[in-house]
């Protein structure tokens, strides 16, 4: 399912002394079946943008196309539920939203809210719990008896059980240890590849953006600063550093080394293997 933002603006608390322009002139499109990363630092408008993707917020100017639906500034929208079912959002620290007695009831809550029968919801819960890498016997447990990492997975299963076509992930690995981080990110990538779920990742991690995304959108001061493939985005790393944004470790290292050696590699290295090969070549060319 394709999501397009056309000339979107969003102001918080319009007509009050607290009015604040959070987004302006945003024109982006996320094609069906792609993996997009949205990057920017705190206050860049990422979170506001994210809430437009399933109509939690309605633009104060412009239009948002979500599949065959149009959310337009100034127009009253009814029946937003199908949109929320098709576009699932995994918020930051989603485990804070767990509330029910058992893992199974918690996961079933979403689908049943969208009109799925209890029997069907339980089937979805079983499927979802396996997808997040947990075993079915966890379904009868209280979510509050689980470890932090397990709770995070259960919360994610709650979103997957709604069988969304688009999955929006807001910093899904914050607070996890390195292994947990990798496992969760690989899991989302598998879902994207195997089930063709369109994925939109909101992140601070340039490593993850470079590793998983087809396209990267850089937000800065409420609007799109740059968009492109990882190769395009990181081919001018100086630009990002000036904004106070990070670049992947490999790119940052490449930049330092290029400066010290007075050479220039012909492309940004986005993984460590590639970087090692390029360094080897540069060494072999030596001082000539």
Partner 1 sequence: MGKKLVSLENIIFRYEGQSRNALDDVSFDIYQGEWLAIVGHNGSGKSTLAKLLNGLQFAHSGTIMINDQIMTEETVWDVRQKIGMVFQNPDNQFVGTTVQDDVAFGLENAGVSQQVMVERVHGALNKVKMNAFLNQEPHHLSGGQKQRVAIAGVIALQPDIIILDEATSMLDPRGREEVLETVRELKQENEITVISITHDLEEAAKADRMIVMNQGQLYREGPPQDIFELEEELIALGLDIPFSVKLTKELQKNGVRVVNGHLTEEELVKDLCELHSMM
* Residues at the contact surface with partner 1, assessed by CB under 8 A: 41-43, 145, 147-149, 174-180, 204, 244-246, 249-250, 252-253, 256-257, 260-261, 272-273, 275-277, 279-280, 282-287
For strands 3-12 and 69-72, give the pairing.
Answer: unpaired
Q: How far is the CB of 58 from partner 1 (least distance, A)?
A: 24
With beta carbons less than 8 A apart as the criterion, state whether 50 and 39 touch.
no
Nearer to partner 1, 166 or 206 (CB): 206
With beta carbons less than 8 A apart as the criterion, state whether 67 and 80 touch.
no
Nearer to partner 1, 81 or 281 (CB): 281
Q: How far is the CB of 228 from partner 1 (least distance, A)?
A: 21
For strands 223-228 and 215-220, give the pairing.
Answer: antiparallel
Q: How far is the CB of 114 from partner 1 (least distance, A)?
A: 31
Nearer to partner 1, 32 or 221 (CB): 221
Q: How far is the CB of 143 from partner 1 (least distance, A)?
A: 15
> How far lies 180's CA from each of 88, 98, 167, 175, 272, in Å?
21, 19, 19, 9, 21
Q: How far is the CB of 260 from partner 1 (least distance, A)?
A: 5
Nearer to partner 1, 175 or 196 (CB): 175
Q: Measuring CA to CA, which residue among 230, 248, 199 is closest to residue 50?
A: 199
Nearer to partner 1, 128 or 151 (CB): 151
- CA dist 35 and 191 (Å) reads 11
């Amino acid at each position: 399912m394709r999501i397009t933002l056309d000339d979107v603006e969003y102001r918080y608390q319009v007509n009050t002394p607290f009015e604040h322009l959070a987004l302006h002139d945003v024109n982006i499109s996320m094609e069906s079946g792609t993996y997009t990363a949205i990057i920017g630092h705190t206050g860049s408008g990422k979170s506001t943008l994210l809430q437009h993707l399933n109509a939690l917020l309605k633009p104060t100017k412009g239009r948002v196309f979500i599949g065959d639906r149009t959310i337009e500034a100034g127009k009253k929208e009814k029946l937003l539920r199908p949109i929320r079912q098709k576009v699932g959002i995994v918020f930051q620290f989603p485990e804070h939203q767990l509330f029910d007695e058992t893992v199974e009831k918690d996961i079933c809550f979403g689908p049943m809210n969208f009109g799925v029968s209890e029997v069907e919801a339980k089937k979805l819960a079983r499927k979802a719990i396996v997808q997040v890498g947990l075993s079915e016997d966890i379904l009868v447990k209280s979510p509050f008896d689980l470890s932090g990492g397990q709770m995070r997975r259960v919360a994610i299963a709650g979103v997957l059980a709604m069988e969304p076509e688009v999955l929006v992930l807001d910093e899904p690995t914050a607070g996890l240890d390195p292994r947990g981080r990798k496992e969760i990110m690989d899991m989302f990538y598998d879902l994207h590849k195997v089930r063709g779920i369109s994925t939109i990742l909101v992140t601070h991690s340039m490593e993850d953006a470079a590793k998983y995304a087809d396209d990267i959108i850089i937000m800065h001061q409420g609007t799109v600063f740059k968009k492109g493939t990882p190769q395009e985005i990181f081919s001018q790393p100086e630009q990002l550093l000036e904004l106070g944004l990070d670049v992947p470790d490999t790119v940052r290292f490449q930049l330092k080394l290029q400066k010290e050696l007075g050479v220039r590699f012909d492309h940004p290295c986005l993984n460590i293997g590639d970087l090692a090969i390029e360094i080897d070549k540069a060494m072999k060319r030596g001082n000539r």
